[in-house]
Amino acid sequence: MTAPPRRIGVIGLGNMGWPMAANLLKAGFEIAVADARPGRAAQFARDLGGRAGTDAADAAAGADAVITMLPTSAEVAAVIAAIRPALAAGSLVIEMSSGAPGVTRTLAGELASGGIALIDAPVSGGVPRAERGDLAILTGGAAADLARAEPILRALGTSIHHCGDVGAGQAMKALNNLVSAGGFLIGIEALLVGQKFGLDPAVMVDVLNASTGMNNSTQKKFKQFVLSRRFDAGFGLDLMVKDLSIALEIGRASGTATPFAALCREMWASAAALLGPGQDHTALARLSEQLAGATLGAPETGKEG
């Protein structure tokens, strides 16, 4: 029987990767970290512990398992190519990015030829849940490989769902984000309509959260990041557009008509083009505000009585 992995390489120390690596340390794993940004890995090791790899291959050297937590499948493919010589037969790659299922399946096949297993395990829950270690983790892969990864995943999340073969976790993540994005968009439009009618948006959020209109955005985003005008939830607008594009591609590949999903993706992509790079996904509200000619929370004139 293969021993449980203890030495872990973590590639990617972004908004999610950093707290996830920190929780692996707290759980007693030996970790080596790497990030494309100069000095990021060294800062992690200095502040929290672990070993800072000089690059991704160095962080992966000698690891029982390697976690990739990167923006897109293009970066993942480049990292896999770079670390491949450092991976021993029998090691495990845990691809936790919100990537493209087709690319991940190709990478898994290439690694399998060298006796290296790959599973996908994207996460949902955002930065706060990453910090608490109670993420939802959506997995795809062989049962034996998932069993090997479970001690690692249990240090990162409290809800682990096996969705199917390799790539299934990423497909589910993209579709989850499609539902989340649709809920955010329609909720913002409802707040704008209500404010123009004369309703208080903050009161509207309270009512939605006590009623059937409740969703993740009404609970955890509207007051916290939109009405507050903070727009800093920690997940990029460009990444949401990427995930929605993946969801639409899954629909196309399966021959499923997706008219609402296509419109939803177009709205999010339009916001990204209008607002420019570096925006938080909650800044989508600004596109809806421009279309409505109103700003949420600002006094309205000409309200109905």
Give the span between the Cα atoms of 6 and 237, in whole angstroms: 35
Provide the b/e sequence for 287-302 (b: ≥16 CB within 10 Å).
Answer: bbbeebebebeeeeee
Q: HSE of 150 in the Cβ direction (CA atoms, 13 Å)?
A: 12
Other beta carbons less than 10 A from residue 119's beta carbon: 27
Active-site residue, selected from the candidate residues 173, 221, 223, 303: 173
Two structure tokens written together for 49? 């512990």
Let me know if 113 is exposed, middle or buried by CB neighbors in 10 A (0-12, 13-18, 19+): exposed
Give the span between the Cα atoms of 243 and 248, in whole angstroms: 9
**DSSP state for residue 280 in the 8-state scheme:** B
Q: Does 196 participate in catalysis according to the annotation? A: no
What's the distance, Cα to Cα, between the start and end of the chain in Å?
72
Q: Are 66 and 91 in contact (CB under 8 A)?
A: yes
Residues annotated as catalytic (active site), given as ranges: 173
